[in-house]
Structure formats: C-alpha cells, structure tokens
Amino acid sequence: MKPLTTTSYAILGLLAIKPWTTYELAKQMELSLRNFWPRAERKLYEEPRKLVAHQLATVQRETVGKRPRSVYRITADGRQALRAWLDEPGAPASLEFEALIKVFFAEHGNKQQLLANLERIHTEATARAMIDAQWAQHYLATGGQFPQRMAVISLVGTLQAQLNQAILAWSGWARQLVDTWPEDLRTAPPARDSLELIARWTRHTTSETLNRQTGPVS
Amino acid sequence: MKPLTTTSYAILGLLAIKPWTTYELAKQMELSLRNFWPRAERKLYEEPRKLVAHQLATVQRETVGKRPRSVYRITADGRQALRAWLDEPGAPASLEFEALIKVFFAEHGNKQQLLANLERIHTEATARAMIDAQWAQHYLATGGQFPQRMAVISLVGTLQAQLNQAILAWSGWARQLVDTWPEDLRTAPPARDSLELIARWTRHTTSETLNRQTGPVS
DNA sequence: CCTCCTATACTGCCCTGGGCACTATCGGAC
DNA sequence: GTCCGATAGTGCCCAGGGCAGTATAGGAGG
C-alpha cells in the first residue's frame, strides 16, 4: 500500500472541511494551497484513492447523466490521522526563485540586464500585491466560503502577503541602489548598510550555541 | 543532445567565476544556491557534461595520485550563452512550506497544536537569522572568497535575510494573537487588522526602505 | 609506521512527481 | 441546434530526488 505523503494530508485536510469530488479537490488545492504547496494537478487525482486504501476516506461513485464522478468523504480514522499529523514537525521551507540566480550571476552580464531582472521581480510582486489586496477585501466583505476557517486563513494569508511585500520592498530598494552602480558590476560597492543591519540581528536572540552552517549566500 | 536547464545555467554561472571540478561545483551549488535553487547533489554531476556537449565548457581530465578528476572551464561561447540567458525572464518564484499547511488546517486540531507549529516556525527562523547575521559579519570582515562578486551577493543575501525576517516577525505576531484565541479555533476571530492592511496595498506603493521593520500588523 | 577518519571524486539505480496530451460528457449561452 | 467552457478524469514519458555504494587522498593520532 502506497505510503501517505504531505500532499495526501493536504487533501485529507480539505476533506475534513466537507466532501468533494476529485476534480473539486484538485481545483481547491490549486486555489488555496498553490502558494505554499504547489503540486501538479495530474498527481492530485491519485491521492484520494490512497486515502481510501488507508481507510481515512470513503468513496461514493455517482453519475451526473452519463458521466461518472467520485465523491470522497473523510472517516473518523481520517480525522484522527489528520490530528496526529498536525503534531509532527513539517519539513523546512524551501524556495525556488530563478530570477534570483540571474541577480546572483549579474556581474557576468551588464547593468541593464540586472536592472531588467530586478524590474521584472518588482512588477510581478506588484501584481501579486494587488491580488492579495483583492483577496483580503473579498474575505473582509464576505467572510469567505467557510467562515469557521477565516481565522486560520487570515494567518496564512498574512504571511503570504508579508513575504510578497518583502520581495516588493527589496526589489524597489535594489533597483534604486543598482542605479547608482557603475556599468562594470564587479567594481560596484556592496550594500554595506544592509549587511550591517543583518549582522546585528544576532543581538535580539539567545546566546545558544550555533552549529557552523552557511548563511544566505557564500 | 540533452537540452540545457536552469540548473545548467547555474553551473555555467559558477564556471564563469573560475574553473572547478565537478565535485567542487556540486559543493558550491549546495553552499551558495541551495536557498533559492535547491537541487539534488547527484544530478549536479550530470550538468557539466551537458555544458561540454553544447560547447559552453571544456573538460580537462587530471589525476591526483591514482584518483582521476575532471576540471571544467567555461568557453567564449559559454560566456555568450550566459549573457543571453540573463536576458530571459526567469520562472516565477515558488515556495514549499509544509508547516504552513499545518497552520492552514489548524482548526481540525487544537489550539496547542497550532501554537506548537507556530513555535517551531519561529525557532527555525530565529536560528536562520543568527546564521544570516554570522554570514553578514563574515562578508563585512573578509569581503568573501570572490570580492568582485560581493555587490551582487549583498543584494541576494539581503533578500534572503529579509524573507527570513518576515517569517520571524509573522510567527512572533501569530503566536501572540493565537494565544488570545479560544480552544475551538473555528470560533476564533480573524485577524481583521492585518487583512485591512493587506487590502489597502492596492493603492499606495510607498517608498519602502530596508529600515521598515514593522511586524505584520503595525 | 599503521590505523582511522574525513574530504575528494564520483556512479548506479529506483521510483516519485511534473507535465503534456488526450477523452468524454454536461450545462448554459447564443 | 451548435458552440464553448466547466466538469471529470486517464495514459504515458522522463526529469529529478534521493539512497546506496565505490575508491583514493591526506592528515591526525597512537
């Protein structure tokens, strides 16, 4: 029997809200979890079956006219498994950001290319901020599809918006700074002020011993 | 001939700095790009060969005693290809954050479980902030292994640190807020203040600076 | 001098998950 | 009556993740 993955538990979490068809589950995953757990739609279709095999859900085969569909429902075991899963620490966060690689290797191109990449990041973050704003307005106005979930959703939505704001603020700052740099980026002055700020962030923390690990970039 | 991927260009970017052995390339990728382009070490060993096939790099087979090794070197075509790649827009950023799924579905568990998950996020972000601080101190003190790269590295490092700070601030805020919530999270009041702040981000794109250190809800 | 340990320098192999392509019916608009 | 988008999926290839394994180099310690 196929072992359950994080994606399985994400689906199980949705089933804990209400019963859904596989198609609806796939749509809902895309809608609400894409931003912190992106998965290929194709693979989501295999998850509910695994849940049934583990007796965490049941299927109900229906037909709409001639077309069949499967409605999945969480079981008591399923709710129990979900609660147990919430106790386990999750894997550390992981980010993929191709445009940042282009910033990282910008000295092998010219200043205009770096500015263009920063501009693209800024534009995307701006668009994203608009979407976040509309989302927040929608939730404030309607309370959302599942009002009992609004509290936790407001937490998660806040982090997403804050992360996007961080990218927006950074790209605006970086753009302005790079504007003052020479054409040959190898001779540009490093952002010392920013590094000094980062270097001071140890102060607000405990004197716990640190294992030697690497910082953001080496 | 295998097509080049983003990972290929990341390796090519490293080769544009200096020649490396495959082993060194793999180590360096892990060290410096893990945080925004994480890739399995195993697969990195296949990339330099692809670059040679495309004539963007050359190999030099050497031996250290009885042990063979391959040193890769970028070609003029390689530098050209790297510059061209810098012009193409990168794929949108993508985040995987399992602990956030647990926050998202927290209403199916109890308040203590949610607080524990927030605590874990906070602890990890705190540890990460210390690593970032040490990294910044190291760079300020030594200028790094490749001083001509310090300017671009300071940009990328700043974003990484800022993103971690956003998580740190958010998790601290969320922890305090959830503390005031009832046991049954379905009846908890949503973070309206925060949503209202996000909702307003449509209009003003204020001149954000690095010194903006406000938490999620200021 | 010998042993142990870690760093260097990779390769084999299985299988998960990403992603494109494809099928088919339903329901409402025009 | 026709067209289009939404509903409801399946088949299949292969890139990439990740575990395991091989072998030599070089320095530390006894």
CB pairs under 8 A between A and B: 384
For residue A147, the enclosing domain spans 98-200
Q: Do B82 and A98 touch (CB under 8 A)?
A: no
pLDDT at residue B213, rounded to an integer: 37
Domain match, B103 and B197 both:
yes
Q: Which of B5, B25, B39, B108 to mutate to test the interface with A (most CBs of A within 10 A)?
A: B108
* Sheet strands side by side (includes A20-21): A20-21, A67-74, A57-64
Is the domain of B66 the same as that of B105?
no
- Chain A environment of B207 (Cβ under 8 Å): 172
- What is the pLDDT at residue B1? 82
A110 and A196 housed in the same domain:
yes
Q: How far is B186 from chain A (nearest CA, A)?
A: 5
Distance from B76 to chain A by nearest Cα, in Å?
A: 12
Nearest to A122 by CA among A160, A161, A168: A168
Q: Has residue A46 been placed in a domain?
A: yes
Binary contact (A216, B192; C-beta < 8 A) = no
- Tell me the two tokens of residue A196: 């000094």
For residue B60, being part of any structural domain is answered with yes
In this prediction, residue A2 carries a pLDDT of 87
Whether residues B108 and B162 fall in one domain: yes
Which residue, of B87, B117, B139, is where some domain finishes? B87
* The domain boundary residue, chosen from B64, B87, B110: B87
For residues B6 and A97, give the distance between their C-alpha atoms in angstroms, rounded to a whole number. Answer: 11
Whether residue A93 and residue B96 make contact (CB cut-off 8 A), yes or no, is yes
CA A201/CA B128 separation, integer angstroms: 10
Return the residue of B nearest to A36 by Cα: B96
Q: Which of B87, B109, B137 is the last residue of a domain?
A: B87
Kindly state whether residues A104 and A21 are assigned to the same domain: no
Number of domains comprising chain A: 2
Q: CA angle, A116 as apex, A112 and A120 as ends, to 5°?
A: 175
- Quick one: A107 and A192 in the same domain? yes
pLDDT by residue for chain B (218 residues), tens only, comes to 889 999 999 999 999 999 999 999 999 999 999 999 999 999 999 999 999 999 999 999 999 998 999 999 999 999 999 999 999 999 999 999 999 999 999 999 999 999 999 999 999 999 999 999 999 999 999 999 999 999 999 999 999 999 999 999 999 999 999 999 999 999 999 999 999 999 998 865 444 443 443 333 33
B113 with B191, same domain?
Answer: yes
**A126 and A41, same domain (yes or no):** no
Q: Which residue in the block uniquely carries the two structure tokens 């994480």?
A: B38
**In Å, what is the separation between the CA of B189 and the C1' of D2?**
51
| Chain C footprint positions (protein CB, under 7 Å) | 8-13, 16-21, 24-27
Same domain for B197 and B104?
yes
Burial B144-181 (b: 16+ CB within 10 A, else e): beeeebbbbbbbbbbbbbbbbbbbbbbbbbbbebbeeb
Residue A177: inside a domain, yes or no? Answer: yes
Q: Are residues B198 and B112 in the same domain?
A: yes
Question: Burial of B21 by CB count in 10 Å (0-12 exposed, 13-18 middle, 19+ buried)?
Answer: middle
Nearest to A105 among B82, B109, B129 (CB): B82
**Any domain includes B195:** yes
Interatomic CA–C1' length for residue A52 and nucleotide C22, angstroms: 27
B62 shares its domain with B107:
no
The answer to whether residues A139 and B116 touch, using CB atoms and an 8 Å cutoff, is no
Q: Which pLDDT value is given to residue A202?
A: 82
Is A200 near strand C, with its CB below 7 A from some atom of it?
A: no
Domain assignment present for residue A214? The answer is no
Of the partner residues B160, B162, B166, the one whose CB lies closest to the CB of residue A217: B160
Rounded Cα distance, B124 and A27, in Å: 32
Please state whether strand C lies within 7 Å of residue A151 at its CB atom. no
**How near does any CA of chain B get to the CA of A177, in Å?**
9
For an interface test with B, the pick among A122, A153, A155, A180 (most B C-beta atoms closer than 10 Å) comes out as: A155
Using 70 as the pLDDT threshold, list the residues of chain A that sit under it.
203-218
Q: Which of B80, B86, B165 to mutate to test the interface with A (most CBs of A within 10 A)?
A: B86
8 Å CB contact between A6 and A91: yes
In a domain, A163, yes or no: yes
Chain A nearest-CA residue for B83: A109
| CATH code, domain with B18 | 1.10.10.10
Whether residue B61 is found in the same domain as residue B148: no
The bases of strand D with some atom under 7 A from any protein CB are 7-12, 15-20, 23-26
